[in-house]
Structure 1
């Protein structure tokens, strides 16, 4: 069957089912007796197995099949939910995600899952699973795939017997791979080996303890085979018995469950018939085309003002209203819930908490908050860094929390919500907070500040220091943190998205990292300003207010122009000087100045311009590789009259 045309659909649905299993496993760990959750996980695994088998992805189908066996025993009361079950199933999910990603990259999605399969089978048989059990095979019955089973049945018709052989090496065996090779050489003379555990590659690399298992097709008697293997030195034991494949018996409730799942599939199909899957590249192309429409709309608006033609003006106004509705519709198509990013964190937090021997409760709110897909694609890694930082640096160990009079379990809150044209994401913990004195000490040690400068710093300015490159307050480097690269990367990435990050902290109470991000990156509402003969666009999201001031209102502090803005002294930045705008001779001294007050966090700066033109929606275009890093400029746009206008990056200009 030609399956290439269905690969994209398979990938989308597989990721949905894996995410469902992941989410439900986290709930099951807290509610181990809730069989409804087990049924949900079983249905997702069952559907994934069916899809993988149809698409001929054998390893995915095999692993999900064994997951299904364990889940089936749990829901029928034959097996209890334990930490072993949760851990191994999570490990299986990681394997399945890796295989799905391999398929997405055009590879075959194959992976050696024999180790995980053996652990799932041990759980299914009721044997406690520890890490050492991965290589223990005495209680393990090798399971053959469909092809190998056919070989066995055909061999039996010709008088061969399938034998399960377990070989144990002595504890002091130095060259295990050599002994394995000698065993295989002996068995070649006695029959044909069709399966081994661990795999041949692992045996050659000595990735096993002292025992390995295999299936041999032979006409020889078991005792004769034992004698031949025992002739090899450093062989401690040899067990040979007739191979009997394990057959999974259907439980009374299984047919009903499959019926239920098929009925649910029909219902889901009926519901999903109102939606279609569209490749995101097509939406990007649609957005690019619409951006050209926005540029032409601006040109038509300018032409209608010049011509003063009533019919033309009415037509342009109608076109403007329709195009604005179309713009909102296209932007909403590009908006996706932030839960796509948040979904990965519960499992990550669980794993880190276990590694660090901490108890942590993760609370997620606002996962349905929507962001532009391009922002969603980029924000994942910064959030991972911040969460790892909170778990490692912020939340204390259980003993320290007890001594501080806190609950043993630390709270980690991840929130997202809309605020105007922005989305705010907050990561808050109830840990030890940021040690201000330690940050100051490290900052002086790294040469970021002098002892005199430190005395005048506000709390926010001190906390921003931890976002500096190479800065870390960790006493020792661990696998999780301590190298001073994570938070610097976080700041760079967030600022590249047109956002900003703020930090609040209180000793022994906890810390809060707040990230402010724009809803979309492509079409901006801006204020057009004139600087000599040049037109610049300032994003409205950064503007606090525009003011017209007299020349005498400008003051100087240490040679820097400043303004008393509503009782607060803010620095003034001349765009003429910053961008080196060429000027003609001015006939008279200026008496009035136009100021655009912009804000980044708690900091404000006034931008000195010649005049204010008005509000305009513009399309943000990249400056290209040659002009990618121009100071204070985030991009460019084409205005209605065909002129190019540079879009200012206020974050870079705020002092």
Structure 2
């Protein structure tokens, strides 16, 4: 009896694997049939569907799944009527076929003894905490969204077939033998293979240390030879005392021993190098082949979205067609599993918010049927870009700003300075929604926030661009590998950290004099662009004084994340390494600014920084300086020259500075200011830019041309806020650049205090 039950369980597992393949094909065939206009091709597709149902019915009878067999029989009968021409292929027939296939999938994978189907909750629901494994080669079947009377119904997937604990051999049509194995076994083997990387790195570190030690001994060859020569001379002569002769003998013995150590070390170095080479020759191919076992075509994830788009269109009264490019690109199944939820949220948002109703599209001069495109494109060997675009109504940046202000996600002053592209990125903020209604599909303001969080968890980022009335495009940049990455090793004080190399644009060593202030922030000019400079120690809240602050040069790492560039000041740049990423564990599932850790070849545990978090944290460290400020003069009032052609602005600046305790002299243009500066003694200059005779740029350049004023701090306060104007201010030698549109009395005083 027990043997029969065990046999039945094995047969059920085998049946589910077979059923999954059939259901994948049926869903794809139904979508193709609905799009096919030619009668002969329609007949061929209907015949293929009929054969699939017939095969699945027979398999269900074999494992005593009578209810499943009945559903297959109903579908057979329906398809037979279509084949005979008794039922025309209309929308109602397609709807009925899709509903029956969904019901069939639910019955198969909810049968007793089978794990319940995994589900994607509606965007408003809390995200699932246990991610569903992505099977090999699983094509999940989506349910078509909620019925009108059941608005909270979930979009469901059958469980992955590879979760079956028994392996099953089969042959594909090409004759290549394949085997199904549990994914947990693959993951275990891959983790063990990845652990070998640490051994390889340790061996490389040992070989490097041996080489360094042997090189140090080799560099002492000349000194050793000279010492032996003198010792030999002392031993041959009869003059020195016996004690001196004993010392000379000891020196000669020491030199002989050191030479022998050098020979032995050279031998160990060659052995370590050979062993390290052999170890790499074993580990690298093993790891590469283990990774191949984890690869699945992107179609595994993208194909089911054809049906999802179709079902959502029916539910929302819209027409849309999904196309996919790059479906043949193979991606780590773990990456695909993480992409499933964000891609679902994006497609649902596109269908609900982007694609218009058919009549509205015709009025706008568009085709009745909307277009949704998913494209995967390789950027390099380690990164890819996943794009979701549509030809719908797009997103209005002004509407986004207004909504963000209403929800108090941003204050009015920064909102005015945001470009349209920057404003659009606010849609990823938690709680943001432009929809006035909350439905089962959208309106809760969490869907796109989940998209961003999921991408950042992968070490990637997402951006959106749009044109009102023409559609929008979501671009997601993501890594292709979870475990091994190339990272830049830097030191901050006594600590080390790793920054993913894919986010590093450049490293540089700059004279500290090139660090300027713009709008109360330290900045540097890198690659012709002004970039904010923030101390990495300040962002990580290390609170350590570093000796590098006293050096004449500053080490800088320019980092890019989600189209934002920020330069980080570090003490040392130690080079790029290939490292094995280790998760922080359940106790530290989310640590700000840190995405994981690794063990270096010398045994040190070093954190791997989360670049997206770093950029956000850097924006909070307002005006953090990478260089020490000059000590403020004590015992006297500082003297400030204000150059401003507007009497109103001149009076305002004078009153502000005098109220702060400064001694103020005023000039009505740059030429007047230059004359007074040459005649008197001043500690700082505050100047407008647009002035007659001599403007602020020319005044600053004139001051920098004279040695007496080379170190005199100059602050430009102006209404010119373009990037070119700011860069010109830095080029002529201004220490700070304050825009009048964002002028704040306290910020001006703070800039002056830091410069004096």
Displacement of 1:587 in angstroms is 9.1
Equivalent residues of 2:384, 2:477 under 8 A apart? yes
Find out whether 1:605 has 2:610 as its counterpart. Answer: no
In structure 2, the residue matched to 1:429 is 390
Displacement of 1:295 in angstroms is 0.6
For the residue of structure 2 that corresponds to 1:347, the secondary structure is: helix
Equivalent residues of 2:57, 2:73 under 8 A apart? yes
In structure 1, the residue matched to 2:319 is 359
Displacement of 1:585 in angstroms is 7.1
Equivalent residues of 2:171, 2:178 under 8 A apart? no
For the residue of structure 2 that corresponds to 1:476, the secondary structure is: coil
Equivalent residues of 1:563, 1:570 under 8 A apart? yes
Considering only CA atoms, is the larger Rg found in Structure 1 or Structure 2? Answer: 2
Counterparts in 2 of 1:137-152, with a 5 A limit?
none
Partner Cα separation in structure 2 for residue 346 and residue 67 of structure 1: 21
Equivalent residues of 1:538, 1:648 under 8 A apart? yes
Equivalent residues of 1:11, 1:104 under 8 A apart? no
The structure-2 alpha-carbon separation of the partners of 1:458 and 1:575, relative to structure 1 and needing over 3 Å to count, comes to same
Q: TM-score, length-normalised on structure 1?
A: 0.72
Partner Cα separation in structure 1 for residue 418 and residue 116 of structure 2: 57
Find out whether 1:285 has 2:188 as its counterpart. Answer: yes
Displacement of 1:450 in angstroms is 2.8
In structure 2, the residue matched to 1:29 is 34
Partner Cα separation in structure 2 for residue 272 and residue 323 of structure 1: 30
Counterparts in 2 of 1:427-576, with a 5 A limit?
427-576=388-537
In structure 2, the residue matched to 1:14 is 19
In structure 2, the residue matched to 1:93 is 101
Displacement of 1:53 in angstroms is 2.1
In structure 1, the residue matched to 2:292 is 332
In structure 2, the residue matched to 1:320 is 280
In structure 1, the residue matched to 2:338 is 378
The structure-2 alpha-carbon separation of the partners of 1:489 and 1:338, relative to structure 1 and needing over 3 Å to count, comes to same
For the residue of structure 2 that corresponds to 1:479, the secondary structure is: coil
Displacement of 1:504 in angstroms is 0.7
Q: Which of 287, 295, 302 does residue 205 from structure 2 map onto?
A: 302
Equivalent residues of 1:371, 1:423 under 8 A apart? no
Partner Cα separation in structure 2 for residue 488 and residue 502 of structure 1: 12
Equivalent residues of 1:411, 1:430 under 8 A apart? yes
In structure 2, the residue matched to 1:124 is none
Partner Cα separation in structure 2 for residue 531 and residue 108 of structure 1: 50
Partner Cα separation in structure 1 for residue 588 and residue 319 of structure 2: 49
Counterparts in 2 of 1:58-77, with a 5 A limit?
58-77=66-85
Equivalent residues of 1:638, 1:645 under 8 A apart? yes
Find out whether 1:4 has 2:9 as its counterpart. Answer: yes
Q: Deviations over 1:63-105 (max 9, x none)?
A: 1122123223433555443333321221111112223332497
Displacement of 1:489 in angstroms is 1.7
For the residue of structure 2 that corresponds to 1:275, the secondary structure is: strand
Q: Which of 392, 411, 436 does residue 371 from structure 2 map onto?
A: 411
Displacement of 1:413 in angstroms is 1.2
Partner Cα separation in structure 2 for residue 615 and residue 7 of structure 1: 51
Displacement of 1:539 in angstroms is 1.0
In structure 1, the residue matched to 2:362 is 402
In structure 2, the residue matched to 1:228 is none
Equivalent residues of 2:296, 2:332 under 8 A apart? yes
Displacement of 1:3 in angstroms is 2.4
In structure 1, the residue matched to 2:46 is 38
Q: TM-score, length-normalised on structure 2?
A: 0.63
Displacement of 1:268 in angstroms is 6.2
My pick for the range that moved more, 598-607 or 639-648, is: 598-607
Partner Cα separation in structure 1 for residue 348 and residue 584 of structure 2: 34
Displacement of 1:351 in angstroms is 1.5
The structure-2 alpha-carbon separation of the partners of 1:403 and 1:81, relative to structure 1 and needing over 3 Å to count, comes to closer
Partner Cα separation in structure 1 for residue 31 and residue 171 of structure 2: 24
Partner Cα separation in structure 2 for residue 451 and residue 533 of structure 1: 42
For the residue of structure 1 that corresponds to 2:439, the secondary structure is: coil
Partner Cα separation in structure 2 for residue 23 and residue 36 of structure 1: 14
Counterparts in 2 of 1:588-603, with a 5 A limit?
589-603=550-564
Q: Provide the aligned C-alpha RMSD in A.
A: 2.3
Give 5+ residue unaligned stretches, structure 2.
Answer: 118-168, 212-268, 620-756
In structure 2, the residue matched to 1:202 is none
For the residue of structure 2 that corresponds to 1:61, the secondary structure is: helix
In structure 2, the residue matched to 1:113 is none
Partner Cα separation in structure 2 for residue 108 and residue 651 of structure 1: 36
Displacement of 1:9 in angstroms is 3.4
Aligned residue pairs, count: 499
The structure-2 alpha-carbon separation of the partners of 1:586 and 1:481, relative to structure 1 and needing over 3 Å to count, comes to closer
The structure-2 alpha-carbon separation of the partners of 1:616 and 1:588, relative to structure 1 and needing over 3 Å to count, comes to closer
My pick for the range that moved more, 69-78 or 435-444, is: 69-78
Partner Cα separation in structure 2 for residue 594 and residue 108 of structure 1: 55
Find out whether 1:642 has 2:587 as its counterpart. Answer: no
Displacement of 1:473 in angstroms is 0.9
In structure 2, the residue matched to 1:106 is 114
Displacement of 1:384 in angstroms is 1.5
In structure 1, the residue matched to 2:625 is none
Equivalent residues of 2:342, 2:451 under 8 A apart? yes
Q: Deviations over 1:328-370 (max 9, x none)?
A: 2222221212212212211111122122222212222211222
In structure 1, the residue matched to 2:654 is none
Q: Which of 155, 170, 174 does residue 271 from structure 1 map onto?
A: 174
For the residue of structure 1 that corresponds to 2:559, the secondary structure is: strand
Equivalent residues of 1:440, 1:462 under 8 A apart? yes
Displacement of 1:493 in angstroms is 1.6
Partner Cα separation in structure 2 for residue 559 and residue 501 of structure 1: 29
Q: Deviations over 1:516-554 (max 9, x none)?
A: 111121221212222222221111111111212121122
Q: Deviations over 1:289-344 (max 9, x none)?
A: 11221011111101111223112202212322432222222222212122122122
In structure 1, the residue matched to 2:637 is none
Partner Cα separation in structure 2 for residue 499 and residue 58 of structure 1: 47
Q: Deviations over 1:571-629 (max 9, x none)?
A: 22322222344647749811222222111132111122222222222111111233332
Partner Cα separation in structure 2 for residue 272 and residue 422 of structure 1: 33
Partner Cα separation in structure 2 for residue 462 and residue 616 of structure 1: 37
Partner Cα separation in structure 2 for residue 453 and residue 584 of structure 1: 33
Displacement of 1:514 in angstroms is 0.8
Partner Cα separation in structure 1 for residue 515 and residue 30 of structure 2: 63
